[in-house]
Chain A
Amino acid sequence: MDNKYIEKMLSKMDKDLSEHGMSRREAMKIAGISGAGLFMGGATSASAEEEKIVKSNAKGKIVIVGGGLAGMSTAARITLNIDNPDITVIEPQKLSVSYQPGQTLVGGGLWDEGDIAYERDNFVPDGVKVIKEKAILFNPQENKLTTDKGTVVSYDYLIVATGLQLDFERIKGLEEAGRAYSAGDNSKLLKALGDDGICSIYTAEGATKTWEQMQKYIAQAKSGKKTKFLFTHPNTPVKCGGAPKKIMYLTNARLKEEGARENAELVFYPNGGAMFGVPEYHDAILGQFKRENFKWHYRHNLIEIDKENKIAVFDAKWQEKGPWDPVMKDFEVIPKHEKVRVPYDFIHIVPPQLAPREIAESDLGSAKGWVPVNKETLQHIRYENVFSLGDVAQVPMGKTGGSVRKQYKVLVDNLVSLMNGKELTAKYAGYTVCPLITDIGTVMLAEFDWTVKPTPSFPFDPTVERWMWWLMKVYALKPMTIYGMLSGRA
Chain B
Amino acid sequence: MQIELELVRYDDELDKFELDETIYQLDLSEDDEKTYHLLKDSDLHLYNWLKDSDFFTKYIKEEVYLESENKKIAISDINGISFRRFYFFKVTSGDSHYEYFKKLFNIHEESDWQDREDIGEEILQCLSTKRKELILELG
A interface, CB within 8 angstroms of B:
233-238, 241, 270-277, 317, 319, 322, 325, 327-335, 367, 396-397, 450
Contacts and interface: CB of A to CB of B under 8 A. Distances in A.
A272 B92 contact: no
A335 B19 contact: no
Interface in B19-49: 19
B70 interface: no
A236 B110 contact: no
B53 interface: no
Given A327-B84, A328-B85, A329-B82, A335 B113 contact: no
Contacts of B84: 327-329
Nearest to B91: A335
A396 B96 CA distance: 22
B108 A396 contact: yes
A319 B113 CA distance: 16
Contacts, number: 74
Give the top 9 A-B pairs by smallest Cβ distance, nearest first.
A396-B108, A330-B94, A272-B112, A332-B92, A274-B111, A277-B110, A277-B111, A327-B88, A272-B113
A328 B97 contact: yes
Nearest to A270: B112
Interface string B104-132: 00001111111111100000010000000
Contacts of B90: 332
Given A328-B94, A330-B93, A317 B19 contact: no
A135 B120 CA distance: 34
A233 B112 contact: yes
Interface in B40-78: none
B85 to A, nearest CB: 6
B90 to A, nearest CB: 8
B93 A272 contact: no
7 contacts: A235-B115, A270-B112, A325-B88, A330-B93, A332-B92, A332-B93, A333-B92
Contacts of A233: 112-113
Contacts of A329: 82, 84
A241 B92 contact: no
Given A233-B113, A272-B110, A331-B94, 19 more contacts: A236-B113, A272-B111, A272-B113, A272-B114, A276-B112, A277-B110, A328-B85, A328-B88, A328-B89, A329-B82, A329-B84, A330-B94, A332-B90, A333-B93, A333-B94, A335-B91, A335-B92, A396-B108, A450-B108
A330 B97 contact: yes
Contacts of B112: 233, 241, 270, 272, 274-277
B18 to A, nearest CB: 10
Nearest to A396: B108
B13 interface: no
A93 B109 CA distance: 33
A234 B115 CA distance: 11
Contacts of B118: 235
Contacts of A235: 113, 115, 118
Given A332-B92, A332-B93, A333-B92, A234 B113 contact: yes
